[in-house]
């Protein structure tokens, strides 16, 4: 086990993984610069994009905490560089952990367990890369045509387009939430407490403290995680 981790955490692997992470970081900076240029071009008031940036930053704290926890676990099994790489460009912690586990099982061993050799780790790496490649291929091929499809479905009516986009978002997040509920009472409690706290914050707290509006999503996530941890501690 120590032999494969020595290879997984070698300077060469760190350097190779850093290339992709740096590219992703540069892309984020370019998107931010393009957004600022577009805002200036359409004469959007400066406080609006700044507020949107703060909202996105605060809202990302909850998901980032979950990703960080999974990354620590992955580092012990597949090495720090690959865990850092995969969760930096994909960010879907449960998916990456599942792909690594399936790779190990395909080799006839458990992830990070006895018999998990350099070959088994390579299979886990390949499974993670193959899993992410599907997303990249689909978005690369079909994303350019989605805007045309959306406009065609809306018939050029901006109000109907807003309703359509909202309905799609509700369907997506509803589907994801239902899957979480099936995983157990801890997940269900996190969902329910997070949703109720969001309602309380928006209906009762924000009217008194309007500046909290941009932080409500992040606060609701943290509250949901708090209650889920309390449940896990209570039943442990």
Query: DSSP characters for 109-175?
Result: S-TTSTT--HHHHHHHHHHHHHHHHHHHHHHHHHHHHHHHHHHHHHTT-HHHHHHHHHHHHHHHHHH
Buried b (16+ CB within 10 A) or exposed e, 65-93: eebeebbeebbebbbbbbbbbbbbebebb
Q: What is the mean pLDDT of the chain?
A: 83
Give the pLDDT score at 68.
Answer: 78
Q: Is residue 70's pLDDT more than 90?
A: no
* Most confident range, picked from 14-28, 58-72, 80-94: 14-28
Q: Is residue 57's pLDDT more than 60?
A: yes
Between 228 and 162, the higher pLDDT residue? 228
Q: Per residue in 75-118, pLDDT tens?
A: 888 889 998 898 888 767 777 888 888 888 898 888 878 888 88
Give the pLDDT score at 86.
Answer: 87
Total residues belonging to the chain: 236
Q: How far apart are the first and last CA of the chain?
A: 30
Give the pLDDT score at 22.
Answer: 94
What is the mean pLDDT of the segment spanning 121-147?
Answer: 83
92 to 12, 86, 132, 152: CA distances (angstroms): 25, 9, 10, 31
Instruction: Tell me the two tokens of residue 138.
Output: 């689909």
Least confident of 6-10, 107-111, 152-156: 152-156
| Strands annotated E in the chain | none
Least confident of 5-9, 21-25, 27-31, 88-92: 88-92
Q: Per residue in 200-231, pLDDT tens?
A: 998 999 898 887 776 787 788 888 888 988 98
Whether 97 contacts 73, CB under 8 Å? yes
Residues sharing a CB contact under 8 Å with residue 95, sequence separation 6 or more, in sequence order: 131
Give the pLDDT score at 39.
Answer: 86
Q: Is residue 14's pLDDT more than 90?
A: yes
């Amino acid at each position: 086990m120590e032999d494969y981790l020595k290879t997984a955490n070698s300077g060469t692997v760190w350097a190779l993984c850093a290339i992709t992470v740096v590219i992703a970081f540069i892309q984020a900076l370019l998107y931010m610069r393009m957004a600022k240029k577009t805002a200036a071009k359409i004469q959007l008031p400066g406080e609006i994009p700044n507020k949107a940036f703060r909202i996105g930053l605060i809202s990302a704290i909850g998901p980032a905490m979950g990703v960080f926890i999974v990354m620590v676990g992955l580092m012990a099994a597949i090495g720090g560089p690959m865990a850092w790489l995969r969760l930096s460009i994909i960010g879907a912690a449960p998916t990456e952990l599942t792909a690594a586990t399936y790779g190990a099982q395909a080799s006839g061993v458990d992830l990070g367990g006895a018999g998990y050799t350099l070959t088994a780790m390579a299979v886990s790496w390949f499974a993670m890369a193959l899993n992410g490649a599907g997303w990249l291929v689909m978005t690369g091929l079909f994303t350019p045509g989605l805007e045309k499809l959306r406009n065609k479905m809306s018939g050029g009516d901006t109000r109907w387009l807003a309703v359509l986009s909202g309905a799609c978002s509700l369907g997506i997040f509803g589907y994801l939430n239902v899957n979480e509920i099936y995983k157990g009472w801890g997940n269900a409690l996190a969902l329910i407490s997070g949703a109720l706290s969001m309602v309380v914050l928006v209906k009762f707290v924000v009217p008194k403290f309007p500046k909290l509006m941009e932080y409500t999503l992040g606060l609701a996530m943290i509250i949901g995680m708090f209650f889920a941890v309390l449940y896990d501690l209570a039943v442990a």
